[in-house]
């Protein structure tokens, strides 16, 4: 008998993704959510939270490279970085490739996510044991409130804007992020799919734009995310991520991110420009 994971997308509005599963490695109810790590036939091991695929061995590099290298190569000298969410450790792995980074703090509300990803997804999570990484298990919203003028870059690597992650999308949180950043700091958040959730993308972009002098949206193609085309929003106090001098970006052995792609990602299709009200 075949076992399939069926992920209902867009809150049940007639769209679903299905994955043939070879084995369930762990399934548990944590304090906050239903957690599973399964081995899928096509995408390999994947982290699933509340029935929604968060990351997979096969395509995780796209998300993790773009949510980290775009902001970290925008800032000229990022030394201290905060990741809110991101318990799988993929963002930390990519952040710590930057030699200027002295400290990367992971603030994840669900310690079980960290524990199980260390056990079953070592390719993604191995940098969580790096001495430059500090792990804080707790509320990211409160953590940001409690750390003023401290971080050069803040990365909001959250689940979808429902349930425990709902407070990570919106103006109040972005104002606290602004205060937690240094005078030339910047933040980035994953901001959903403009094709299926245009209202969410528009609201998040406008909330960030109301607070940060420079606000930009860029895109990346991620096969396991709804629609396969995903948005990220950057709010910056000083540096424009779309105007980076790409000749200063080193030629690393990345799988998705390149200096050329850094700039190209900000060239948006017209329908996405229309969503966020850009010309």
Was 190 annotated as part of a binding site?
no
Cα distance between residue 35 and residue 127, in whole Å: 21
| pLDDT tens column, 90-122 | 999 999 999 999 999 999 999 999 999 999 999
Q: Say if residue 184 carries a ligand binding annotation.
A: no
Asked if residue 117 lies in contact with residue 88, where contact means CB atoms within 8 angstroms, the answer is yes
Token pair of 279, please? 């010309």
Q: Give me the CATH code for the 3-56 domain, please.
A: 2.30.140.10
Write out pLDDT tens, residues 171-190.
Answer: 689 999 999 999 999 999 99
Name the catalytic one among 59, 112, 152, 157.
157
Starting from the edge strand earliest in sequence, which strands make up the sheet with 15-29, in order?
3-9, 15-29, 34-40, 44-49, 52-56
Catalytic site includes residue 157: yes
**DSSP letters for 250-269:** -----SS--HHHHHHTT---
Give the 3-state secondary structure percentages of the chain, helix then strand then coil, rounded to 5: 35, 30, 35
In whole angstroms, give the CA distance from residue 156 to residue 67.
9
Q: Where are the domains of the chain?
A: 3-56, 60-276
The tens digit of pLDDT for each residue in 214-272 reads 999 999 999 999 889 999 999 999 999 999 999 999 989 999 999 999 999 999 999 99
- Tens of pLDDT, residue by residue over 30-44, are 999 999 999 999 999
| Residues 114-136 as b or e (16 or more Cβ within 10 Å = b) | bbbbbebbeebbebbeeeebebe
64 is in an annotated binding site: yes
Question: Per the annotation, does 179 bind a ligand?
Answer: no
251 labelled as ligand-binding? no
Give the tokens for residue 137: 């298990």
242 annotated binding-site participant: no
Name the CATH architecture for the domain at 60-276: 3-Layer(aba) Sandwich (3.40)
């Amino acid at each position: 008998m075949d076992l399939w994971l069926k992920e209902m997308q867009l809150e049940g509005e007639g769209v679903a993704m299905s994955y043939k599963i070879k084995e369930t490695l762990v399934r548990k109810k944590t304090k906050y959510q239903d957690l599973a790590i399964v081995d899928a036939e096509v995408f390999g091991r994947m982290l699933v939270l509340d029935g929604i695929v968060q990351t997979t061995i096969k395509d995780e590099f796209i998300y993790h490279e773009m949510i980290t290298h775009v902001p970290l190569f925008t800032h000229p000298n990022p030394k201290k970085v905060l990741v809110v969410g991101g318990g799988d450790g993929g963002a930390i792995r990519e952040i710590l490739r930057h030699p200027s980074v002295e400290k990367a703090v992971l603030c994840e509300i669900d310690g079980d996510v960290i524990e199980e990803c260390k056990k079953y997804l070592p390719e993604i999570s191995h940098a969580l044991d790096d001495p430059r990484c500090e792990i804080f298990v707790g509320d990211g919203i409160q953590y940001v409130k409690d750390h003023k003028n401290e971080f050069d870059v803040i990365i909001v690597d959250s689940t979808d804007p429902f349930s425990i992650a709902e407070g990570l999308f919106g103006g109040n949180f972005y104002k606290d992020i602004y205060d937690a950043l240094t005078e030339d700091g910047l933040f980035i958040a994953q901001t959903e799919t403009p094709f299926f959730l245009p209202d969410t993308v528009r609201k998040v972009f406008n909330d960030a734009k109301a607070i940060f002098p420079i606000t930009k949206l860029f895109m990346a193609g991620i096969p396991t995310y709804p629609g396969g085309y995903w948005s990220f929003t950057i709010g910056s106090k000083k540096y424009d991520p779309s105007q980076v001098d790409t000749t200063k970006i080193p030629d690393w052995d990345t799988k998705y991110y390149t200096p050329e792609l850094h700039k190209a990602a900000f060239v948006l299709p017209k329908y996405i420009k229309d969503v966020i009200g850009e010309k």
